[in-house]
Amino acid sequence: MLRQRWQPAEADMTSRNTKLIAINRGGIATLADGSCWHIASSELSEVKSWGIGTEVVVEDQKLINTATGVQVPVVPIPLSAGATP
């Protein structure tokens, strides 16, 4: 039986604090809570300056740097059905 990796429900996307773990060249940000978000290429330079470990909040489809208040729009990345938590 395949287990699904945790994926936030729509109600969970309203607001949560976490940390930035990684950002790849394609604009996929991985957060400490296990979620992944796509950042538009036009916003990548802003987010890359935040650094790994930056505390962030995901709220209303925005990734917000809690130290600076800078916000960038994000889109949730669906996780594959074969991944495990």
- Dmax (CA) for the chain in angstroms is 44
Residue among 43, 3, 1, 6 at smallest CA distance from 23: 43
The enclosing H or E element of 64 equals: strand 62-65
Domain boundaries, the chain: 15-76
Report angle CA 18, 19, 25 to the nearest 5 degrees: 125
Could you read off the pLDDT of 22-78 as tens digits, one per residue? 999 899 999 999 999 999 999 998 888 899 999 999 999 999 999 999 999 999 998
Tell me the C-alpha distance between 70 and 66, whole Å: 8
Mean pLDDT of 5-14: 45
Tell me the C-alpha distance between 19 and 31, whole Å: 6
Q: Which two tokens stand for residue 7?
A: 């994926």
Q: What pLDDT does 15 receive?
A: 66
Q: What pLDDT does 80 receive?
A: 58
Q: What pLDDT does 16 receive?
A: 76
Q: What pLDDT does 48 receive?
A: 82
Q: What pLDDT does 3 receive?
A: 41
